[in-house]
Structure 1
C-alpha cells in the first residue's frame, strides 16, 4: 500500500511509521518545514513537506495514496480558535483534498479521534460509540468536530475513526508530568475521587489503526480502544512509583486549588508562549468523574482486543524517560 501519515513525527505517529515500515509498506510522512523528526530515526519513510492548514500542500500530498492516516492535531493551545484551526478545519481541508482526487476510487481515511471528543464518563458507565459526543473543553470540542466533519464525507470517502483514551508508552509527553512529579517524590491525591481512567498501550492503538485501514467492516464506523481494566489517578501514580523505585509522599489537592494553578499556568503560556505541562485542559481531565470507554464494538465487529497491560507500558515508559534524560 501507498500510505500517507499526518502527524507522523508525534508520539502515536512515530509508532505507526515504525510498524508500517517493518511491514514493508510505502510510507510518506507529511511534515511541516523545520519539524523535529528525531522520533522517526530508523524506519524508512518519504518526507513530504506540508501542513494540514495548507490546502495546496495537502492536494499534492494525497496524490497516489491508498490510505491516509490523519493523526495531526494540536493538544495544547491558549485559545479555542487555535484548536479548531488545526484539529477541525485541518481535517476538513484534508477531506476536500481527498474528494478532489480524480477517479471514483478514493483513498481510505483513518482519523485518530479521542475519548476527549466524547467527553467524560459517568461512574460505572464506560462510554460506548452510540453515546452522543459531549466534550467539556476546547480540545475535546475540536476533536468532536473533526469526527463530525469526517463522517459528513462518508458518502464520498471511505472513512473510519478510532477514539483512544489516555495512551501510554515510551516517548509520550502527555503523561510526563505525572512521572516527573512522582520522580520528585510527590503523589497527587485529588479530592472527590476516585476517578477511573481507561488506559491503552500505544502499540495496541497502532494494531487497531492497521486493522481499520484494511477491514471493510470498519467503514463508516468509530471505535473506542482501551484496556478493559481501568485505573484511578492514584493507582497510575503508584505504578509509576514502583517503576521508578521511589516512595513519594502524598500531596492532597482540592479541585479548586488544582484549577487555580492550571489557570495561572495558562496565563503564563498566553503571555510568554511557553507551553507548561499543567493547563486547564489537563486539570479538567483529571477532575472529571471518569474517563472510561468500552472496546466491545471493536471486538464484536473486528475481533480486536487491547491485550497489552498498561502497567507494562508504564514500566517501559519510566525506563525510556530515564534513559533519554526526561526525568
Structure 2
C-alpha cells in the first residue's frame, strides 16, 4: 500500500512514517524543515530509506505530484505553535491547506483519508467527561482553524472516504515538545505554577499510530470523529512527579500563583506579536498549567477496537532514555 503523510517531518508524522515502513508500506513523506527538530527527523527518515518531498500544503501543484498512486492519506501538517504570525497564517495552512489536500486526494482516487485534528477544539477546560458529542468551544486561533478544517473534511465525505481523529497531548521517543519540561525537572529548575490539579490524558505516540491505522483500515471508522487519548487521567502534579522519577531527580517544593504568569503572557503577546517576535511566554504555553481534560474513550474502543497499551510511567522512561541517547538530556 502507498501512503502519503503530510507533516511527515514532525514528531507524530515521522513516527508514523517509520512505523509504516515497518509494516511494509511505501511511504511518501511530505513535510518541511522549518526547525532543527524537523531537520533531524528528515535525516532519520532518509536514513530509513525514505526520500521526503519538501513542500507546503498551501502548494496545490506539489500535492498533486506527491499524491500520484497514493492509496491512503494521513493529513497531519498544521500551523500550531507559531506565536509570532498573523491569524491568516493559521487559516491558510490549517483550513485552505486541508482543502488542498482533500481536493488533490479526491482527484488522485485516494481510498482512505485520515485527518489529524486536535482535542484543542474543546477549548480551555470542560466540566465532566468529554466525548465526541461534547460541543467544541476552541479558545485560540489554532483550535478555531482546526475545527473549521474538520468542517471542510466533512464537506468531502460524499466524495472521499474520510475519518477525523482528535489527537490528545502526545509524547514518547522523538518528542521535543516536552523536552524543556524534562530538562527543567532534571536540573531542578521546574516549579509548579498554580495548584497543579488540572487534568491530562496523554497518549504515547506508538499508541496513537496504532489508533490512526485503525482509523484508516476499519469500515466502521468511515465518516466518524474519534478522540484518540491515553489510558490514564493524570493531574499536572502527578505528571511531573512521574517525569521526576524517570529522570531520577526530586521535584522542588516551590509553587507560584497562576495569575501573574497569565497576566505576563497576555502583555508579552500584545507587545511582541505586532513586532513579529516570538514572545518568551504566551497563553498557549500556560495551557499546561490551565487546561483540564478527562475523556470517555468508549467510541474509539467500540468502533475502532482501539485500546492504548502504554502507561505513562513506562512511556516517560522510554522518552527519558531516548533524550539521553540523543544527548538532549
> Given the two structures, how large is their TM-score scaled by the length of structure 2?
0.90
Deviations, residues 9-35 of structure 1 (Å, cap 9, x unaligned):
111111111111011101111134786
3-state SS of 2:9 partner? coil
Q: 1:184 to 1:193 in 2, by over 3 A?
A: closer
Deviations, residues 64-107 of structure 1 (Å, cap 9, x unaligned):
11001101112212232222221222111111222333xxx543
1:70 aligns with 2:75: yes
Cα distance in 1 between the residues matched to 2:279 and 2:177: 12
8 Å contact from structure 2 (residues 7, 32) kept in 1 = no
Deviations, residues 159-179 of structure 1 (Å, cap 9, x unaligned):
001112111102212222321
Q: 1:41 to 1:49 in 2, by over 3 A?
A: closer
Q: 1:270 to 1:17 in 2, by over 3 A?
A: farther
Say which of 106, 113, 116 aligns to 1:112.
Answer: 116
- Deviation, structure 1 residue 199: 0.9
> Match for residue 5 of structure 1?
5
1:98 aligns with 2:101: no
Structure 1 residues 139-148 or 4-13, which shifts more?
139-148
Cα distance in 2 between the residues matched to 1:76 and 1:185: 26
- Deviation, structure 1 residue 275: 7.1
Q: Extract unaligned runs of 5+ from structure 1.
A: none
3-state SS of 2:164 partner? strand
Q: 1:305 to 1:74 in 2, by over 3 A?
A: same
> Match for residue 136 of structure 2?
133
How many pairs were matched up?
A: 321
Q: 1:225 to 1:32 in 2, by over 3 A?
A: closer
8 Å contact from structure 2 (residues 154, 223) kept in 1 = yes
Cα distance in 2 between the residues matched to 1:237 and 1:152: 41
1:311 aligns with 2:316: no
Kindly report which structure 2 residues correspond to 1:118-267, keeping only aligned pairs within 5 A, or say none: 118-123=122-127, 125-263=128-266, 266=269, 267=271
Q: 1:263 to 1:9 in 2, by over 3 A?
A: same
- Deviation, structure 1 residue 209: 0.9
Deviations, residues 204-224 of structure 1 (Å, cap 9, x unaligned):
000011111111111100111
8 Å contact from structure 2 (residues 46, 52) kept in 1 = no
Cα distance in 1 between the residues matched to 2:205 and 2:91: 25
Cα distance in 2 between the residues matched to 1:47 and 1:275: 32
Structure 1 residues 143-152 or 36-45, which shifts more?
36-45
> Given the two structures, how large is their TM-score scaled by the length of structure 1?
0.90
